[in-house]
Amino acid sequence: MSTPALTTPVDDFLDHLALQRSEHTLRAYRGDLADLTGFVTERGIARWDQVSLPDLRAWLGRMHRGGAASATLQRRTAAVRVFYRWLVAEELVEQDIAEALASPKVSRALPPDLGRDDLDTLFRAALDRAGEPDAGPLGLRDVALLEVLYGSGARVAEVCGLDIDDLDRARGTLRVLGKGNKERTVPLGRPAFDAVDRWLAVRPKVATEVSGPAVFLGARGGRINQRVVRRVVHERLEAVPDVPQFGPHGLRHAMATHLLEGGADLRSVQEMLGHASLATTQIYTHVSSERLRAAFTRAHPRA
C-alpha cells in the first residue's frame, strides 16, 4: 500500500496543476502518477526522495515491454518531468532526476491518401445528395462543409467555430481561431465560397434564436458540433470507391499534400495550417518522390 509520503505530494501537485492545465491533461496525469506511485511502492520505496533515475527508467521500460504506444510513453515521461520540477520547487526532493529521462519518439501515421479524382467523386456525390428531394437545406450545408474543410485546410473545430463575418469573399479569405486562441487568415477558393453562398441562402430555413452568427448549423439550429461534421465526412466518403474511411483531418491532410505537389513552399503551407513549428508540417504532409526528384533535377547543379 502506498504511503502518504508518496500520495500526498501527488494530490497537492494535481491541485496546483488544476489552475494551469485542462481537465483532460489533469485526468491523464492523475492516471500516470498513480501508476508510477504503485510501481515504486512495489519496489519498497516510501518517499519521492528515495526514487532514483533507474527506477523511473524501469517503470517506463515495463510499459514499453507491455506494448504501450510511443505516444503514451511520451506523455507519461512529460508527466513525471513536470511533477519532479514541482517537487524540487516545493523542496520535497533535492534533485530533479526526471530531467535526464529520454522522451521516446512518436511516429506519426499519415492519413490515407485522397487523390484529386477521389475529391471530384466526393464533391459530386455530395452535390447529388443535396439535390435529392429529402435532403433539404442541410444537403447544401454538407457540400459547403466539405468544400471549406478541403479548401482551407482548417481544423474541424475551427470550421465549427466560424462566424459569418469571418468570411471575406472580396479578398477570398477566411478568418479562423486556432489552437491557443491564435487567429489566422487563410485563403479560400471560389468553389468553396460558391458552396457557402448556396448554403447561406437557405440557412434561414434552419436558423433559430440560438443560431447566432454561426456559419454552419446543426439540424436544430444551433452551431454545428464536431461529431456532426465527422459524420457528414464519413457518410459522403462512402460514395468514393476504394478509399479508407477517415474524418475531416484527412481533408486537411489532402489539401496540404496537394498544395505541396502543386509547388507551394513548405513555409506557406505551415502558415495556412496554423502549425507553430515547421517540423510539424514536414511530418504532417508528404511530397511524392517524383516531385522531389524533379525539383532536384531542376535545381541542383550536379543533378
The catalytic position among 81, 249, 258, 286 is: 249
Alpha-carbon dihedral angle through residues 75, 79, 82, 88, given to the nearest 10 degrees: -140
If one counts every other C-beta atom within 10 angstroms of the C-beta of residue 219, the result is: 12
Other CB atoms within 10 A of residue 75 CB: 19
Of the residues 16, 116, 179, 205, which is catalytic?
Answer: 179
Is 249 part of the annotated catalytic residue set?
yes
Q: 303 with 296: CB under 8 angstroms?
A: yes
Give me the half-sphere count of Cα atoms (radius 13 Å) on the Cβ side of residue 5. Answer: 12
Active site residue 234: no
Q: Which long-range contacts (CB under 8 A, 24 or more apart) does 288-292 make?
A: 288/261, 291/260, 291/261
Are 77 and 106 within 8 A, CB to CB? no
Where would I find the beta strands (DSSP E) of the chain? 167-168, 173-177, 183-187
Q: Is 230 a catalytic residue?
A: no
Q: Is 150 a catalytic residue?
A: no
d(CA 237, CA 245): 7
**Catalytic residue list contains 275:** yes
Distance of CA 303 to the CA centre of its chain: 38
Of 75, 155, 203, 236, catalytic: 155
Please confirm, yes or no, whether 179 is among the known catalytic residues: yes
Helix axis angle for 53-65 and 70-89, nearest 10°, is 160
Q: What are residue 150's phi and psi, to 5 degrees?
A: -80, -40
**Burial level of 68, CB count in 10 A (0-12/13-18/19+)?**
middle
Could you identify the residue written with the cell 476504394?
Answer: 242
Round to whole Å and give the CA distance between 158 and 300. Answer: 40
Catalytic positions, please? Answer: 155, 179, 249, 252, 275, 284
